[in-house]
Amino acid sequence: MKTMTKNKNKETKHSSLIVRWVSIVALTITVSFVIFSVVVYQIVSRQSLDQQEEMSLNVVTTLNRTLSSIPDELEISNVIPSLSPATRRILKGEPAISDKDSTNNAFSDNLIASISNPDINSAVYNKHGEIVFTNGNVTPKFKSFKEVSKNELVKRNGHQILLTYQKVYSSVNNKLTGYIVVSNNMTYYNSLMKNLLHSMVAISIIAIVVFVVTSYILVFNVVKPIKRMSKVAQEVNADPNSGARIKELNRDDELENLATSINQMLDRMQSYIEQQKQFVGDVSHELRTPVAVIEGHLNMLERWGKDDPQILDESIKASLQEADRMKHLIQEMLDLTRAEQIDVQYPHEVTNVYDTVKRVVADLAMVHPDFEIRLDEDDLPQDTEIQIYHGHLEQLLVILIDNAIKYSTNLKQINVSAGLTKKEVNIIVQDFGEGISKEDQKKIFNRFYRVDKARTREKGGNGLGLSIAHKLVDSYHGEISVESVEGQGSQFKLTFPLISKKKAAKLKKLNENSELPKSNLE
Ligand code: ADP
C-alpha cells in the first residue's frame, strides 16, 4: 500500500523533461556566450586601446621633444614660434612661406601634421598650469599630477576619451618648464567597440534561439517515444491483462531496443501470469478429487460407518490412499516448479551417462521384479558425460521407465538403450504397452494431461511426470520426443548435447568452487 502511494506521488510530481532540458540548454548557451563575448570584448578592447595610447604617446613625445629644447619656462612667446616655423618667420619679419622649410624645418612640419589629427586635441601649459598653446577644437584641461607621464580614461557623452599628461623638462638645464596634455577622442575605438557589442548581442540572441529550438526538437524526439512507453506501462499497470504494446518507433537506436525489450518483457510477464493462473486452476482442480474422496469417507463414517468395522477399515484405507496421492501430487508440483529454475541452480553440473543409466535400471529392476528391464549400452562409451545434474538425469529415467511399467499391458518387457552420435547422447525407453494415439502424443507433455483420466488415476498418475521431464530437458538444452503406436507400445527418446572433455573438466572445476545449495531440489 505504501509503495503504491509513493509511486502515485512520483507520477504526479513529474515535471516535463522538455522544459528542464531546454532551460538547461538555454542557460548553458547564454552563460557560455556571455563569457565568450566578455573575453573577446576585453581582448579587442585592450588591443585597440594599446594602439590609441601609442598614438597619443607619439603626439606627446613629438611635442615634448620640441618643447624640451626651450631652456626657460614655457610661455606663449617661446612655445608658438618653436611649434610653428611660419610664426617664427613672421616674427622675424621674413616671408611666412620659405623654400628652406622643407629641409630646415621638416621636423616642425611633421609635428604640426602629427598633432593635426582631428581626434587629438593637444595643449601646452606652463609651470603654473596656465595655457600657453592649444590645438584642436577642444582644449584638454590641466590637472596636476605627480608622475612624469600618465594616461587616464574618462567617459564623456557615452564615449571613452583617453587623456595623456606629461611633464616637460628642459634638455638644457633639466628643469621643469611646463606640461603637455593630449586628449584622444578615440572615434575609431569607440565605434569599433560599439559595433562589436551590438554584433555580439545579436549573435548571442540568434545562437540562443537556434540552440533552444534545435534542442527542443531533439528532446521532443526523445521524449515522444518515452511518453508512448510510459502510457503503455500505465495501461498494463492498470490492467495486467491489457494487450497494449509500444508501437514500432521506426528509429534504429537505443529507444527502439528499449521499446522492443519492454514489449518482450510484457509478453513474457503476461505469459507467466497466464501460466500461473492455469497452474493454480489445475492444482485446485486436481486436489479437489482426493479431498472430496476423503471428505466422502469421513461423512460416511460419521453417519453410520463408525460401528461397522468393515466400512471403517475400508474408509481408512481409501482415505490413506488419497492422502498418499495428494502427497505425491504435491511433490510432483514442487518438482515441476523447481524444474523451471535449473539454469540458476545447476549451471556447472556434469554427469556420467553410462553409470547413471546402469544404476537407475538396476534399481527399478529390483523394485519391479515382474518386469524384464533390458539395458543396451553397447554404443555408449563408459566415460560419456553430459551437462546435467545427476539427480535430474535419474529423475528423467525414473519418469520414463515408471511410465513404461505403468502403461505396459501383457508383455512386461522394457528396453532401455543409450548411444552416442557425433554431437549428441540419446537415451531411449521402449515399452510394448497400450501406446498413445497421434492426437494424444501432442498433449501428453502438457501439465495434468492424462489420456484416460480414470485409468491413469487408478495407476497413481497425476499427469505431471512428462511435463516435469519436458521442463527438465528444456532447461538442459536437450530434447524429448515420443513415437508410439496404439496397442503396440511407445518409445520415448531423450537427446542431450555432448560436451567436450575440456568443457567437462572446466565445469567440474567451477562446480567444485561454487557453493550453491542443492539439497532443496533433490
Ligand atoms: P502420469 O503421472 O499420469 O503418468 P505423465 O505426464 O507421465 O503423467 O503422462 C501423461 C500421460 O501420458 C499419462 O497419463 C498416459 O496417459 C500417457 N503416457 C505416458 N507414458 C506412456 C507410455 N509409456 N505408454 C502409454 N501412455 C503413456
Say what the pLDDT of residue 92 is: 65
**Contacts for 518 with CB less than 8 Å, ≥ 6 apart:** 345, 346, 389, 391
Helix (H, G, I), strand (E, B) or coil at 327: helix
Residue nearest to atom 20 of ligand 1 (CA): 403
Say what the pLDDT of residue 397 is: 96
- Write out pLDDT tens, residues 189-209: 999 999 999 998 898 889 888
- Residues with a CB atom less than 6 Å from ligand 1: 399, 403-404, 406-407, 431, 433-434, 436, 444, 449-451, 456, 461-467, 490
The alpha carbon of 486 and the centre of ligand 1 are apart by a number of angstroms equal to: 13
Choose which residue among 406, 448, 473 to substitute to test ligand 1 binding: the one with the highest number of ligand atoms within 8 A of its C-beta: 406
pLDDT, one tens digit for every residue, the chain (522 residues): 444 444 444 444 455 777 888 888 888 888 988 899 899 999 999 999 999 999 899 889 888 988 998 888 998 888 888 776 666 666 666 665 555 544 444 345 556 655 667 888 889 999 999 999 888 778 888 988 888 999 999 998 888 999 999 999 998 888 999 999 999 999 999 999 999 999 988 988 898 889 889 888 888 888 888 888 999 999 998 988 888 898 887 888 888 999 999 999 998 888 888 878 877 887 887 788 788 888 988 888 888 767 778 888 888 888 898 898 888 888 888 888 777 666 656 778 899 999 999 999 999 999 999 999 999 988 899 999 999 988 899 999 999 999 999 999 999 999 999 999 988 999 999 999 999 999 999 999 988 888 877 766 677 678 889 998 998 999 899 999 999 999 999 999 999 999 888 888 888 888 777 655 544 444
The alpha carbon of 463 and the centre of ligand 1 are apart by a number of angstroms equal to: 7
- Write out pLDDT tens, residues 211-269: 889 888 888 888 888 888 999 999 998 988 888 898 887 888 888 999 999 999 998 88
Q: In 15-134, where does DSSP find H-type helix?
A: 17-67, 76-83, 85-92, 101-104, 106-115
Say what the pLDDT of residue 261 is: 92
Residue nearest to atom 7 of ligand 1 (CA): 465
Q: Quick one: which atom of ligand 1 is closest to the CA of 408?
A: 24
Q: Quick one: which atom of ligand 1 is closest to the CA of 434?
A: 25
Residue nearest to atom 11 of ligand 1 (CA): 450
The alpha carbon of 95 and the centre of ligand 1 are apart by a number of angstroms equal to: 141
Set of cell numbers at residue 239:
490492467
Is the pTM higher than 0.75? The answer reads: no
Say what the pLDDT of residue 407 is: 93
Handedness of CA 392, 398, 399, 401 (dihedral sign): positive
Say what the pLDDT of residue 93 is: 67
**Residue 41, CB-side half-sphere exposure with 13 Å CA sphere:** 16
Choose which residue among 286, 402, 450 to substitute to test ligand 1 binding: the one with the highest number of ligand atoms within 8 A of its C-beta: 450
The alpha carbon of 404 and the centre of ligand 1 are apart by a number of angstroms equal to: 8
Residue nearest to atom 4 of ligand 1 (CA): 461
Within 10 Å of residue 75's Cβ, how many Cβ atoms? 17
Residue nearest to atom 13 of ligand 1 (CA): 450
Residue nearest to atom 23 of ligand 1 (CA): 404
Residue nearest to atom 19 of ligand 1 (CA): 403
- For 135, list phi and psi in degrees, rounded to 5: -145, 130
The alpha carbon of 106 and the centre of ligand 1 are apart by a number of angstroms equal to: 127
Say what the pLDDT of residue 263 is: 92
**Contacts for 333 with CB less than 8 Å, ≥ 6 apart:** 283, 464
The alpha carbon of 407 and the centre of ligand 1 are apart by a number of angstroms equal to: 7
- For 146, list phi and psi in degrees, rounded to 5: -90, -40
The alpha carbon of 199 and the centre of ligand 1 are apart by a number of angstroms equal to: 88
Say what the pLDDT of residue 394 is: 93
Say what the pLDDT of residue 115 is: 61
Choose which residue among 436, 437, 446, 468 to substitute to test ligand 1 binding: the one with the highest number of ligand atoms within 8 A of its C-beta: 436
Choose which residue among 325, 396, 403 to substitute to test ligand 1 binding: the one with the highest number of ligand atoms within 8 A of its C-beta: 403
Residue nearest to atom 12 of ligand 1 (CA): 444
Say what the pLDDT of residue 353 is: 95
The alpha carbon of 458 and the centre of ligand 1 are apart by a number of angstroms equal to: 12
Residue nearest to atom 8 of ligand 1 (CA): 463
Set of cell numbers at residue 3:
509503495
The alpha carbon of 439 and the centre of ligand 1 are apart by a number of angstroms equal to: 14
Say what the pLDDT of residue 107 is: 44
The alpha carbon of 449 and the centre of ligand 1 are apart by a number of angstroms equal to: 8
Tell me, what DSSP letter sits at residue 141? Answer: P
The alpha carbon of 450 and the centre of ligand 1 are apart by a number of angstroms equal to: 6
The alpha carbon of 68 and the centre of ligand 1 are apart by a number of angstroms equal to: 127
Say what the pLDDT of residue 300 is: 84
Distance, in Å, from the CA atom of 45 to the CA atom of 410, rounded to the nearest integer, reads 112
- For 253, list phi and psi in degrees, rounded to 5: -145, -170
- For 177, list phi and psi in degrees, rounded to 5: -110, -20
- For 430, list phi and psi in degrees, rounded to 5: -120, 135
Within 10 Å of residue 413's Cβ, how many Cβ atoms? 16
> Beta strand 120-126 with 413-420: parallel, antiparallel or unpaired?
unpaired
Set of cell numbers at residue 304:
453410520
Choose which residue among 371, 373, 407, 494 to substitute to test ligand 1 binding: the one with the highest number of ligand atoms within 8 A of its C-beta: 407
Distance, in Å, from the CA atom of 276 to the CA atom of 266, rounded to the nearest integer, reads 15
Say what the pLDDT of residue 94 is: 66
> Beta strand 372-376 with 413-420: parallel, antiparallel or unpaired?
parallel
Choose which residue among 432, 446, 466, 488 to substitute to test ligand 1 binding: the one with the highest number of ligand atoms within 8 A of its C-beta: 466
